[in-house]
Amino acid sequence: MKIEDLHKVPYTPYFTGSGPVTPPSRLARDPALARSVYEATASLLGVEPLLFSE
């Protein structure tokens, strides 16, 4: 998916007893993806990424 296509994605919150809640993002649910994004961001910023233990 391209950035330009994000507006085409329907917004579908789910509801709890206290009201609407947005589901967690794919990035929040996928540790490997989160690490990949973190490392790529660190590389773009020219900084050394922190090492995390598994």
pTM: 0.49
pLDDT, residue 9, reads 56
The low-confidence residues of the chain, meaning pLDDT below 70, are 1-22, 52-54
pLDDT, residue 41, reads 92
pLDDT, residue 32, reads 86
Domain segments of the chain as ranges: 3-45
Helix (H, G, I), strand (E, B) or coil at 2: coil
Spell 9-32 as b/e; 16+ CB within 10 A means b.
eeeeeeeeeeeeeeeeeeeeeeee
